Amino acid sequence: MRYVILRSWLESQHPRTAISSDFYKLIPKWRSGNTPFIDSPYDPGREEHWIEHSRVETFAKAISSERSELVVDLGSGDGWPSLVLASLKSNIRVLGIESSAQRVQRCIENGTRLHITNADFVSAQMDKIPLSDCTADTVISSFAVEESATLPDTLDEIFRILKPHGKISFLHQIWDLPDQTVKTFSVLEGIRQGIEHCLILVETVRQKNPNRETKIVAVVSDTEHTRAICEKLLLTLAGYPSIFGEAWIPANPPSLETSIDLEVEILEAHILDCFQYSLVRYADEELVYLLDKAGFTNIQASALPDDQARAAFRRTDGTEKDFYRDCKLIGEMQLSGKGFMTAKKPEILQRSR
C-alpha cells in the first residue's frame, strides 16, 4: 500500500472548476446543527450565544420596529439571521434567498418548527434576486455577499431591489491573515444530491495581497473503510493549531509524511466528485469603493460586536433578562472597526459610473 502527503494527493486529483454554492449545497446543517436559536434555544450561560444574538441585534438596528418592512436576507443558510429577526420583529416580512434548494427546504422546516410565520425562503442567485425594482426596505447578509463570484453585479442587484432610502447591512470576513499564505484542512460529513451521505475533505488556501481564498474539495463515499481513514485523519488534525475553525497546516509541518498520510487506493476508489473554486476577499476600503460605485451613500464600516458580547457574558450572572437586554445594547453600539458594513440607497439616484 502506498502513502502520500494528504495535501499533495488532494491537489493531484485534477479537480474541476466550480463555484462556492457547489460546496455549500453538500452541507446538510450549518455548524453541524448547532446554530443558536435555530437548532437549540438560547442559553445565557454560553458565550457563543451572546455573540450570535448581539450580531442579530446589530442587524435589527437598521430595521424599523413600527412600520411594515420587507427584509431580504442573502445567503440565508439554515435560517440565520432571517428567522431570528422575524421572531424579534413581527412587523417585518423576511425573504431569505439561498442558492441551494436543499438549504431552502431546511430553512422552511426550521421556520415551521419554530412557529415563525413571517419568513419565506426561495432558491435564487444573489445577482438575480426574484423581486421587482424598489420593493425591499432592507437587505442583510451574514458572510454571504462576499461569496458572490461577481460582487459588483450582486451590489447592483441589491441596489435595484431596494427602495430609495433602503439600507444594506452585512457581516463580512476580516482578512487579517497571520502569514502571506494560510493553508487549512477540514473533514466534514455531507449529503450529495440531497440523499446520499458522503465525507468531504477540504483544503482551503487563503492568501493576502491579492486577497483570495481557494478551496479544493474531494467528495468521498461514506463506507466503513473511508470513514476509518477520515477518523484517523481527524485525530491527527486535532493536534494542529486552529484558525478559522479549521486545522492550520504549516508550510513545513514536522513529520507530515507520517502524521497525515492516507491510503490513497482506498480513497481514490470512492471519490464521487472533486472540485475547486476561488473567491476574491475584500478589505474594508475595497468594499467601500464597490458600494460607492454601485450608487450607495452613507457607507459606514463598524466592528463586529463580538468583543463586547464576550465582556458582557463574563460579567453577567447568566440570566435571560440580562441576555436580551445586554445583547440589544451591544448590537446597537456599532463601534468603529471592521467586519460589519452598512450603506443606504439615496432618493436621488447618482451612480459613480
CATH number at residue 139: 3.40.50.150
Q: In terms of residues, how long is the chain?
A: 353
Closest residue by Cα to residue 8 from 257, 226, 240, 233: 257
Contact 10, 26 (CB under 8 A): no
Contact 302, 160 (CB under 8 A): no
306-313's contacts with Cβ under 8 Å and 24+ in sequence apart are 306/51, 306/54, 306/55, 308/54, 308/333, 308/335, 309/47, 309/50, 309/51, 309/53, 309/54, 310/47, 310/50, 310/51, 312/50, 313/47, 313/50
Prior bond of 28 cis (ω within 30°):
no
pLDDT on residue 335: 92
Residues 161, 84, single domain; the answer is yes
Residues 249, 333, single domain; the answer is no
Residue at 285: amino acid letter: E
* Residue after which a domain boundary falls, among 254, 280, 306: 280
pLDDT on residue 261: 55
3-state DSSP call for residue 96? strand
Q: What is the pLDDT of residues 85-108, one digit of tens each?
A: 999 999 999 999 999 888 899 999
Q: With respect to residue 56, please indicate whether it lies within any of the assigned structural domains.
A: yes
Q: With respect to residue 321, please indicate whether it lies within any of the assigned structural domains.
A: yes
Domain of 216, in residue numbers: 3-29+176-280
Q: With respect to residue 352, please indicate whether it lies within any of the assigned structural domains.
A: no
pLDDT on residue 1: 33
Q: With respect to residue 63, please indicate whether it lies within any of the assigned structural domains.
A: yes
Q: What is the pTM of this model?
A: 0.90
pLDDT on residue 6: 65
What CA–CA distance (Å, rounded) separates 176 from 283? Answer: 9
* Residue after which a domain boundary falls, among 245, 263, 280: 280
Residues 293, 156, single domain; the answer is yes
Count up the domains in the chain and report the number.
2
Residue ranges of the chain with per-residue pLDDT less than 70: 1-7, 252-265, 318, 349-353
What CA–CA distance (Å, rounded) separates 272 from 270? Answer: 6
Query: For residue 245, what are the contacts with CB-CB under 8 A and spacing of at least 6?
Result: 186
Residues 53, 24, single domain; the answer is no
pLDDT on residue 3: 38
Residues 22, 42, single domain; the answer is no
Residues 300, 183, single domain; the answer is no
Q: With respect to residue 233, please indicate whether it lies within any of the assigned structural domains.
A: yes
Residue at 344: amino acid letter: K
* Residue after which a domain boundary falls, among 240, 255, 280: 280
Q: With respect to residue 156, please indicate whether it lies within any of the assigned structural domains.
A: yes
Residues 60, 8, single domain; the answer is no
Residues 86, 163, single domain; the answer is yes
Q: With respect to residue 350, please indicate whether it lies within any of the assigned structural domains.
A: no
Residues 311, 335, single domain; the answer is yes
Q: With respect to residue 180, please indicate whether it lies within any of the assigned structural domains.
A: yes
In this structure, the number of other CB atoms found within 10 A of the CB of residue 228 comes to 12
Residues 14, 114, single domain; the answer is no
DSSP class per residue in 212-281: EEEEEEEEEE--HHHHHHHHHHHHHHTTS-EETTEEEE-SS-TTHHHHSEEEHHHHHTTEEEEEEEEEE-
Residues 225, 256, single domain; the answer is yes
pLDDT on residue 30: 74
Residues 262, 304, single domain; the answer is no
